[in-house]
Chains A and B, each alone.
Chain A
């Protein structure tokens, strides 16, 4: 499996990264190197091994349905670069 410059542009768009032409070329090379490493790992036979969904051998970590206090609304937006009252203000999307 290899990555084209088009794939890099697609991933960059999804991640909202503005890449220069040089960076696109560089990252195409670097990502291909990473995938090459994956190919090496893929040589191992894992057909008998359950897929790992969690790094620890744990399951069923639950909470009871009991309400606890939330944050003060003014604290919620305290680090927001833009706000109005206790709401975040974000750039127009649509």
Chain B
């Protein structure tokens, strides 16, 4: 039986986080009343003159640099002509033969621990289109769709990969890494569910060993990572099945139906795409200077891949821990700043990924939006180091610290959470617990080590969780062996 491999390339659209649209001063704010963020430029009325938002170019350069791409010193806009009422001009202003970025690359971590470089063909600036609501089943309204042009002109960057991916997992890893990079450099929110990151997948299959690509399809409308993976897996299976049963793959656009779990042909009456691109005469060419590029480069943060490597190689964290810590720039920066005060990467990682993240999640907050600074966590870890509090008490301090913004020391003192390490006082409590639980003492003597756990619990209960656990264990074992 023939073995097949998939060939996958992705086109990712990200909505840029500018305040205004790409060619006019209308707001890009989401979710407003229909046609309330619209002006003559958005509508393409005769005589209007679009003017490019400088921030869009800056974001384009920033993205290009983060993706190790060449920035085209000279680039321009073109008109992509098509008839569809999502743009009233009958064309989309985009970039055709001179995009702002070309020849980039991004590295993904594969499940088996290896790394793979995925090429990026190009990234270009363009405007988003409006929204059509295909409405109603009743005869009176079914004759038409309603059009809201608020989204027209929201700046997009379309990032096109090389056909370098071979599985849905690799495609997911690519989008995941791209999303992280874009979020690190703060040019887009990348919310797939809200449409600020949209992925189209070009998928084909070929017998393993064959050099030529098979015929590809383009799948759209995947609104989550899960949908992306399912759609690609479905498309690979569908194409192999079609070929195996003697059919041929038609080059076409397909749409992912998440409920039915399948891709469907979007065959339209329209002849094959013929966008008749030509240079946009209303926009001046863009010439990007070395100085501008260097200025943007200086503002780039350290990127996820490099941070992960640093945390693994220099701090000795596992790749898993390093990946979790560097998932967001805010957490990665927070870690670095705590790390400056505490020379124990693993303890910091455990605290940040464990109790702190748990409490943040419960509050629906994140480390950058919270009440606390790295100084809070540094002080908290030091309190654990010097034995003032136990890890158990830290669990009580963290939510309080997030709620009030108070320093851990203050919380520990005010709430009387200081760990009990007075050996004499603890000894008295241990003795009374042993006296009250003769059955457990008996069990211990009969070789049931579990009994110790129960007794520790009783001492903790008697001290309201404040007893130093190490000391309690030590004292209990001493007394039990004397008995």
Instruction: Please list the residues of chain A having a beta carbon within 8 angstroms of any beta carbon in chain B.
Output: 10, 13-14, 16, 53-56, 58-68, 70-71, 73, 76-77, 82, 84-94
Nearest B-chain residue to A9, judged by Cβ: B271
B144 touches A91 (CB 8 A): yes
**Inter-chain contact B85/A54, CB cutoff 8 Å:** no
Contacting A77 at CB < 8 Å: which of B18, B35, B51, B52? B35
Provide the residues of chain B in CB contact with A90, threshold 8 Å.
Answer: 85, 132, 144-147
Q: Find chain B residues with CB under 8 A from A61 CB.
A: 51-52, 283-284
**Residue of A at shortest CB range from B36?**
A73
Q: For chain B, residues 1 to 40, give those with C-beta under 8 angstroms from any C-beta of chain A.
A: 18-20, 25-27, 33-40
How far does the alpha carbon of A88 sit from the alpha carbon of B268 in the complex, in Å? 23
How many contacting A-B pairs (Cβ < 8 A)?
127
A13 neighbours in B (Cβ, 8 Å)? 271
Residue of B with least CB distance to A13: B271
CA distance A75 to B134 in the complex (A): 23
Interface assignment of B128: CB less than 8 Å from any CB of chain A: no
Contact B57–A65 (Cβ < 8 Å): no
A58 CA to B284 CA, complexed, in Å: 6
Task: Give the CA-CA distance A59 to B35 in the complex, in Å.
Answer: 32
Assess whether A86 is in contact with B274, with CB atoms less than 8 Å apart: no
A82 to B143 CA separation, bound complex (whole angstroms): 11
**Given A14-B276, A54-B279, A65-B18, A70 and B37 contact (CB-CB distance below 8 Å):** yes
Contact among A16, A59, A65, A92 with B142 in the assembled complex (CB-CB below 8 Å): A92
In whole angstroms, how far apart are the Cα atoms of A92 and B283 in the complex? 33
- Contact partner of B143 (CB less than 8 A), chosen from A59, A65, A77, A91, is A91
Whether the pair A73, B25 counts as a contact (CB closer than 8 A) is no
A60 to B76, CA, bound (A): 10
Q: Is the CB of A54 within 8 A of B39?
A: no
Contacts of B85 in A (CB 8 A): 88, 90, 93
B132: A residues at CB distance < 8 A: 90, 93
B134 in contact with A92 (CB, 8 Å): yes
Q: If the complex has contacts A63-B51, A65-B18, are A85 and B34 also in contact, measured as CB distance less than 8 A?
A: yes
CB distance from A72 to the nearest CB of B (A): 8
* B contact residues around A82 at 8 Å (CB): 144
Q: Is B84 an interface residue (CB 8 A)?
A: yes
Q: What are 18 sample pairs from A and B whose C-beta atoms fall under 8 A apart?
A: A53-B285, A54-B284, A54-B285, A59-B285, A60-B284, A62-B52, A62-B54, A63-B52, A63-B53, A64-B54, A64-B55, A70-B38, A70-B42, A87-B35, A88-B88, A90-B132, A93-B145, A94-B268
